[in-house]
């Protein structure tokens, strides 16, 4: 008996050690696979993200980005944040999940947005019922309506929705006019969204989305419309998946020059592996937890009777402002020193996004922890900075990979043969010896790819980035 107990204890000990090893290996693997700072989320959100990774194989980056957009869309126009007099931001985000086919981009979006989609199904049923009643009343005479106790013809009902897909500029304008709270454009493949930009008047729809990003006035007046559309503060966040070749088109075309590219947040895991199916199912408690959180968000900010003119306003504490201003000074120094325009554009746009992240993270804390704070503290600003660092790094990676594909064979050969760290004289010598390039051509190649393919270490010394 004693031996049996000893063997059992040894077995338990071995299992425990094996479990700890697997846990440590998983932790070490995650350091490589995901750099998304999930510590910026409340504990309940972190639990959801990790459970979806462990049991359903959802990459942390994709689930986390989807949650950010979900909160952005749930908040909509109902909460804004004041930086200073005349500068107020909304929670608008444009987000793209980048990866190869089969890298599990679609499922995290579908899971996270499911409560919003179910909300729209319920409101659609209510809308159809109200529309049937309205059309029946419309067929009646005044006398018949009065007999039913209806003195005035009610207004035509409209569908109150949160999620849209495959919309044109005209159709989205109508949707927004009936949904002052705002909507989420959920496009499984963002390529379809981008192709719509050239559907009618070249570039007009792209300009429309550039304006929407800044929540600028939308007005339309066409002969076919009975009433003109005038939306003082339109709100629409965007999420979808995309592949690298589409991003190359962004960099090559006008979208890489007019600031459109700078507005997209890229969730792009550094390592993407196809996971095997887990035999153990995700706990219903995790599913219920997300439904409760999303439900609170919908109940508080979507199902109310608020309009564009009625919104809550966040502000920054003095300490938070000081920390934010210090970050902006550092970001400004980077922008003044960077030589690649596209990197400067991304860093400049992050000054808008850091404010929006502060708004979303504060509301996330309020919803998850039952708080009602309307003042952003230094801790929230620090979390927002970690998100900015993540998305900025991903944007830089996307640019570098896209630029690499745009290099010709001789440029790639020179880059590959260069040591990781090199002097100006070395690249000039190699350019001439390998490719017969003149010194001026080598200098142009080096200068035009600073901060994208090359980084200046000190005077006359550089290192490769890719």
CATH of the domain at 274: 3.40.50
What's the burial of 146, exposed, middle or buried (CB within 10 Å: 0-12/13-18/19+)?
Answer: exposed
Which tokens belong to 376?
């952003």
Q: Do 23 and 42 reside in the same domain of the chain?
A: no
Q: Do 400 and 430 reside in the same domain of the chain?
A: no
What is the H or E stretch that residue 334 is in?
A: helix 318-337
Bigger pLDDT: 271 or 184? 184
- Whole-angstrom distance, CA of residue 329 vs CA of residue 122: 48
Which tokens belong to 190?
């963002």
The reply to whether the predicted model has a pTM over 0.75 is yes
Q: Do 326 and 359 reside in the same domain of the chain?
A: yes
Q: Do 185 and 99 reside in the same domain of the chain?
A: yes
Beta bridge partners of 186: 239
Q: Do 393 and 421 reside in the same domain of the chain?
A: no
Residue with tokens 């980084």: 455
Residue 313 burial (CB count, 10 A): 10
Give the distance, in angstroms, between the CA of residue 216 and the centroid of all CA atoms in the same chain: 20
- Whole-angstrom distance, CA of residue 181 vs CA of residue 126: 18
Q: What value does the mean pLDDT take over residues 7-28?
A: 42
Q: Do 424 and 293 reside in the same domain of the chain?
A: no
* Percentage of the chain lying above the pLDDT 70 cut: 85
Output the pLDDT for position 253.
52
**Domain residue limits at 11:** 1-33
Output the pLDDT for position 17.
38
Which tokens belong to 7?
């063997």
* Residue 241, φ and ψ in degrees, nearest 5: -105, 155
What are the b/e assignments for 32-50, b being 16+ CB within 10 Å?
A: ebbbbbbebbbebbebbbb
Q: Are 301 and 74 in contact (CB under 8 A)?
A: yes
* Residue 267, φ and ψ in degrees, nearest 5: -95, 110
Q: Are 49 and 74 in contact (CB under 8 A)?
A: no
Q: Do 290 and 428 reside in the same domain of the chain?
A: no
Q: Do 133 and 254 reside in the same domain of the chain?
A: yes
Q: Do 205 and 234 reside in the same domain of the chain?
A: yes
62: Cβ–Cβ under 8 A, 6 or more apart, which residues?
97, 99, 104, 105, 108, 109, 267, 269
- What are the pLDDT digits (tens) for 256-305? 555 778 899 999 988 777 777 778 889 999 999 999 999 999 999 998 65
Q: Tell me if residue 196 falls in helix, strand or coil.
A: helix
Locate all alpha helices (DSSP H) within 370-451, ordered by sequence. Answer: 378-406, 409-417, 424-435, 439-448
Closest C-alpha among 40, 57, 67 to residue 99 = 57
Q: Please state which of the ranges 109-118, 209-218, 423-432 shows the lowest mean pLDDT.
A: 209-218
Q: Do 287 and 375 reside in the same domain of the chain?
A: yes
- What are the pLDDT digits (tens) for 201-256? 555 778 888 889 999 887 776 655 567 777 889 999 999 998 877 776 666 655 55
Q: Do 97 and 28 reside in the same domain of the chain?
A: no
- Whole-angstrom distance, CA of residue 307 vs CA of residue 327: 34
Residue 174 burial (CB count, 10 A): 16
Number of residues that this document lists for the chain: 466
Output the pLDDT for position 101.
76
Concatenated DSSP letters for 197-237? Answer: GGSSSTTHHHHHHHHHHTT--EEE--TT-SS-EEESS--EE
Bigger pLDDT: 13 or 400? 400
Q: What value does the mean pLDDT take over residues 384-402?
A: 89
Residue 402 burial (CB count, 10 A): 22
Q: Do 346 and 441 reside in the same domain of the chain?
A: no
What is the H or E stretch that residue 257 is in?
A: none
Q: How many domains does the structure of the chain reveal?
A: 3
- Whole-angstrom distance, CA of residue 305 vs CA of residue 298: 12
């Amino acid at each position: 008996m004693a031996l049996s107990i000893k063997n059992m204890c040894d077995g338990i000990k071995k299992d425990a050690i094996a479990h700890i090893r697997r846990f440590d290996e998983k932790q070490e693997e995650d350091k490589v696979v995901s750099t998304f700072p999930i510590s910026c989320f409340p504990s309940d959100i972190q639990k959801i993200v990790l459970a979806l990774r462990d049991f359903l194989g959802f990459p942390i980056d994709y689930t986390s980005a989807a949650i950010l957009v979900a909160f952005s869309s749930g908040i909509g126009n109902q909460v804004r944040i004041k930086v200073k007099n005349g500068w107020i931001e909304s929670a608008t985000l444009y987000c793209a999940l980048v990866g190869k086919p089969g890298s599990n981009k679609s499922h995290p979006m579908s899971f996270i947005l499911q409560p919003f989609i179910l909300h729209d199904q319920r409101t659609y049923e209510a809308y159809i019922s109200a529309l049937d009643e309205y059309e029946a009343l419309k067929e009646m005479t005044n006398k018949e309506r009065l007999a039913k106790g209806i003195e005035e013809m009610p207004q035509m009902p409209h569908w109150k929705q949160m999620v849209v897909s495959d919309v044109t500029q005209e159709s989205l304008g109508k949707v927004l006019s009936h949904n002052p709270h705002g909507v989420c454009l959920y496009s499984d493949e963002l390529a379809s969204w981008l192709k719509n930009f050239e559907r009618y008047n070249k570039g007009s729809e792209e300009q429309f989305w550039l304006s929407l990003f800044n929540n600028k006035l939308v007005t339309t007046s066409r002969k076919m419309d009975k009433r003109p559309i005038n939306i003082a503060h339109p709100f629409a966040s965007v999420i979808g998946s995309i592949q690298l070749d589409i991003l190359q088109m962004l960099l090559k075309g006008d979208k890489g020059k007019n600031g459109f590219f700078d507005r997209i947040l890229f969730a792009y895991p550094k390592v993407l592996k196809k996971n095997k199916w887990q035999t153990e199912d995700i706990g219903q408690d995790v599913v219920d937890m997300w439904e409760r959180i999303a439900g609170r968000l919908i109940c508080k900010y979507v199902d109310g009777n608020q309009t564009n003119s009625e919104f809550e306003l966040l502000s920054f504490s003095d300490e938070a402002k000081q920390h934010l201003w210090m970050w902006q000074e550092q970001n400004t120094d980077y922008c003044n020193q960077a030589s690649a325009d596209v990197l400067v554009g991304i860093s400049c746009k992050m000054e808008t996004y850091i404010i929006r992240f502060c708004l979303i993270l504060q509301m996330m804390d309020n919803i998850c922890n039952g708080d009602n704070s309307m003042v952003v503290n230094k801790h929230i600003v620090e979390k927002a900075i970690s998100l900015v660092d993540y998305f900025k790094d991903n944007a830089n990676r996307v640019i570098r990979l896209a630029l690499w594909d745009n290099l010709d064979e001789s440029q790639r050969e020179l880059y590959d043969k260069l040591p990781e760290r090199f002097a100006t004289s070395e690249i000039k010598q190699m350019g001439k010896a390998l490719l017969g390039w003149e010194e001026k051509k080598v200098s142009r190649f080096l200068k035009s790819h600073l901060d994208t393919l090359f980084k200046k270490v000190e005077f006359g010394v550089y290192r490769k980035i890719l």
